[in-house]
Amino acid sequence: MEPGGSKFIQQGVPTTAPYVDPYWIEFLVRSFDYVGLKSWLLQVQRFVSAVGNTMKQNDLRDGVLQRLKGLLASYGKIRGRLLKLFVVHFRFHVDDLLIFSREFVVFRLVSLWFTLSSRQNVINGMLSAVKEVQSYKFIPLVYQIASRMGSSKDGQGAHNFQLLALANGDRVKDKQRSRNSFVVDMDKKLTAENLLSELSSHHGAIIRQIKQMVEIYIKLAELETKREDTNKRIPLPREIRSLRQLELVPVVTATFPVDHSCQYHEGTFPHFKGLADSIMVMNGINAPKVVECLGSDGRKYRQLAKSGNDDLRQDAVMEQFFGLVNTFLQNHSDTWKRRIGIRTYKVVPFTPSAGVLEWVDGTIPLGEYLLGSMRNGGAHGRYGGKDKPRAFQEVCEKFRPVMHYFFLERFLQPANWFDKRLSYTRSVAASSMVGYIVGLGDRHSMNILIDQATAEVVHIDLGVAFEQGLMLKTPERVPFRLTRDIIDGMGVTGVEGVFRRCCEETLSVMRTNKEALLTIIEVFIHDPLYKWALSPLKALQLQKETDDDILENMEDSQDVYMGNKDAARALMRVKQKLDGYEEGEMRSVHGQVQQLIQDAIDQERLCQMFPGWGAWL
C-alpha cells in the first residue's frame, strides 16, 4: 500500500493507530516493566558497590550491569521509533480528513499536534492542514485550540467569543481580584487581543457588534441590586436596553446549523434585536438575572446572566464534553435506538467571572419537587410521613421515596406515563456515567433539574469536577447521585433492566471513543484558568458551615492554581476510568457498571455525605 493513498488510509491507519496512540506510549514508558527495570538497575548498582573488589566479583558486577543497561536501552529505542511514527501518522490523518468527515479523526489529529507541538515539521504540517481541510471540521475543538494560544502564534483561528473571553481574562471585580479567585495568563490575553485586532481589519463590523453585545451582557451580569429585589422584576437600565439591531451577531444561546461555505446569508441565524425592558433577579449570593433576548425570528430567548466566583469557562467545556458524548451516542446503533443522551444547554463565558447561560425552560429543581419551597412542602410533604428522624437509617425507614408520583401527577395516559418514565431512566443512566467519568460532584437535589414535559434530567452548576468533591471537608464518597428517590422514579425494576443496560451502553460508547474524550479533557492541562484545587473559601461556600458575612470578608490566601502536575494526574484518572480500572483492577463494562451502582447505593457511603446533599432523598 502506498502511504497517503486512500487504501492505506482505510486499512493502514486503523491498523497502526494503537501503536502511535500518545497514551499507549505513555503507558509503555510508565509501565511496570519499564519503571521496575530502572528501579532494579538502581538496586543492583547499590548492591555491587557494597561488595568486595575481587576479580570474580568485578566480572559478575560488570556482566549484570551490562545486561541491564542493554535491556533499558532497548526500551528507549522502542520509544524513539514510536515517536517517529507520530510524525508519519500525522500526515495520514490530514489525508483522512480531506476524504471523510469522521469526528474521531480530527480529535486524533489535534491530539497528535498537541503531543508534538514542539516539532517544526509537525507545526508546518498543521499549517498545511488548515489550508487544505475545511475549517468547519475544527469547530468542535475551538476551545482546545484557543487554550494553546501564546506569543508563538501557534493557536490562531479561535472562535470570536472564546477570543473575547481570553482577551477579558483579567477583567474581574476588585473584590474577586483581592481573593486571588482567578489566575490570569497575560500571554494568552495579549495574543487574543492581537488576533482580535487582526480580525478587525478584515471583519471590523462583526467584531465591533460582538464587542458591543458582550459589553452589555457583562454590565447586566455585574449589575448591583438590592436584597429586597430578589425574586422580583426590576426595570433594565437604559444604557443596557438601548442597544438594538445587531444584524451581524447571532443570539448567543440560539442553536443553528454550521454553514460549511461560511457565507451565512440573511435568515440563516436569528440575530440580536435587543433585550426586554425588565429582568428577574434570582436568589443567590451574586444575584443572577433572568433576561429575555429578542431574536430576529420573533422568539424570546430566556437567558441567565451570571457573575461571581464561579468561572463559567469550566461549565462551558463540561457542556462541550457532554455534547461530544451525545454525538457518539447518536452514532452508535444501540444507544441511538434507545434514545440515550444527556440534556445540554449553552454556556457562553465573557470574562473569568461573567457570562450567559441558556435558560432551560419547563424545568424545576429535583429538590423543589421533593421538598418544596417556602410555599409548599413538596412531594414528601404531600405523600410522606410527618416526622423526620435523626439517624440516617431511621430517615430511610420513615421518609419513604415519592419520586414515582411525579409521573402519576403529570402524565395521566398510561402510554405517556410509560414513555416518560423510560426517558427519565435513560437520562439518569447517561448523565450518571458521564458524570462519573469527569468526576462531577456537588450533585445535591437543587443542582439537578427535571423537565416537566419530557422527564429528562438536566445537570447545572458544573464547577466541582475531576473528583474535587473528595477534597471537601465532608468528602463525597459516591460516584453519582443514585439515591432512593432517584431510583423510585424508575419503577419496580429499579436499577435493574433499563437503567443498568443504558449505563452499560453509554459507558461502552465512551470507552470506545476514549481518545476523543481525553482530547477535550486535555484542554485543562493547558488552561491555567482552571482551578485544580478547591480553595478553603469555595469549600465553605459549597458546604456552608459559617455565616455569609464571614464568607464575604474571608480572603483566599491559598493560590488555587496547582499547575500541570495536578492537571496531568486528573487526566490520567479519567483515562483509568475509561480503561475500566476500579480499585486497581481492570473490569469489563458490565463489571465496572456493577461496581459503580453498588458504590452509589451503599448506605455506608451515603450516611457519611454532607447533610445538605440530602442522601435520604
How many Å apart are CA 312 and CA 355, to the nearest integer? 7
Q: What is the DSSP string of 82-121?
A: HHHHHHHHHHHHHHHHHH---HHHHHHHHHHHHHTTT-HH
- In 3D space, the residue among 138, 146, 159 whose CA is nearest the CA of residue 191 turns out to be 146
- Cell representation of residue 436: 462519573
pLDDT at 13 over 50: no
Cell of 401: 421515596
Q: At 93, list the grid cell.
A: 490523518
SS3 state at 357: strand
State pLDDT tens for residues 411-459: 999 999 999 999 999 999 999 999 999 999 999 999 999 999 999 999 9
% of the chain residues with pLDDT over 70: 67
- Sign of torsion, CA 311 317 321 322? positive
Closest to 505 measured CA to CA, from 338, 319, 322? 338
pLDDT band for position 397 (cuts 50, 70, 90): confident
Q: Cα(9)–Cα(556) distance, rounded to whole angstroms?
A: 53
How big is the CA angle at 214 (ends 293 and 194), to the nearest 5 degrees? 155
* The pLDDT value given to residue 554: 39
Looking up cell 430578589 gives 230
Q: Is residue 261 pLDDT above 70, yes or no?
A: yes
Q: Which residue in this structure is represented by grid cell 490575553? A: 189
Mean pLDDT of the chain: 76
d(CA 147, CA 150): 9
CA dist 418 and 404 (Å) reads: 11
Quick one: which of 515, 412, 468 has its CA closest to 21? 515
- 3-class secondary-structure state, position 244: coil
Residue with cell 435558560: 359
Which helix (H) or strand (E) covers residue 170, if one does?
A: none
Classify residue 227 as exposed, middle or buried by CB count within 10 Å of its CB (0-12, 13-18, 19+).
exposed
Set of cell numbers at residue 218: 457583562
Statement: residue 546 has pLDDT above 80? no
Geometric angle at alpha carbon 453, from 447 and 454, rounded to 5°: 75
Do residues 154 and 117 lie in contact, with contact meaning Cβ atoms separated by under 8 Å? Answer: yes
Going from N- to C-terminal start, the domains of the chain cover 6-132, 161-309, 334-349+360-613
Q: What is the pLDDT of residue 46?
A: 65
In order of 27, 33, 63, 144, 504, the CA distances from 71 in angstroms are: 18, 11, 13, 39, 41
Number of helices (H), then strands (E), belonging to the chain: the values are 27, 13
pLDDT tier for residue 157 given thresholds of 50, 70 and 90? very low
Residues 457, 448 contacting (CB under 8 angstroms): yes
Distance, in Å, from the CA atom of 371 to the CA atom of 510, rounded to the nearest integer, reads: 34
272 neighbors 295 (Cβ within 8 angstroms): yes
Residue 349: strand, helix, or coil: strand
pLDDT at 168: 56
Label residue 604 by pLDDT band (50, 70, 90): confident
CA distance 26 to 79: 9
Question: Do 509 and 589 form a contact (C-beta atoms < 8 A)?
Answer: no
Arithmetic mean of pLDDT, 147-167: 53
The helix, strand and coil proportions of the chain, stated in percent and rounded to the nearest 5, come to: 55, 10, 35
pTM here is 0.72
Instruction: Give whichever of 182-186, 367-371, 487-491 has the largest mean pLDDT.
Output: 487-491
Q: What is the pLDDT of residue 101?
A: 64
What is the C-alpha separation between 198 and 153, in angstroms, rounded?
Answer: 12
Q: Which amino acid is at 511?
A: R
Q: Scan for cell 429575555, then name that residue.
A: 292
| Environment class of 214 (CB within 10 Å of its CB; exposed 0-12, middle 13-18, buried 19+) | buried
What topology is assigned to 334-349+360-613 in CATH? 1.10.1070
Q: Amino acid identity, residue 300? A: K
Q: Give the residue from 100, 46, 40, 44 showing the smallest Cα distance to 72.
A: 40
**Percent of the chain scoring above 90 in pLDDT:** 24
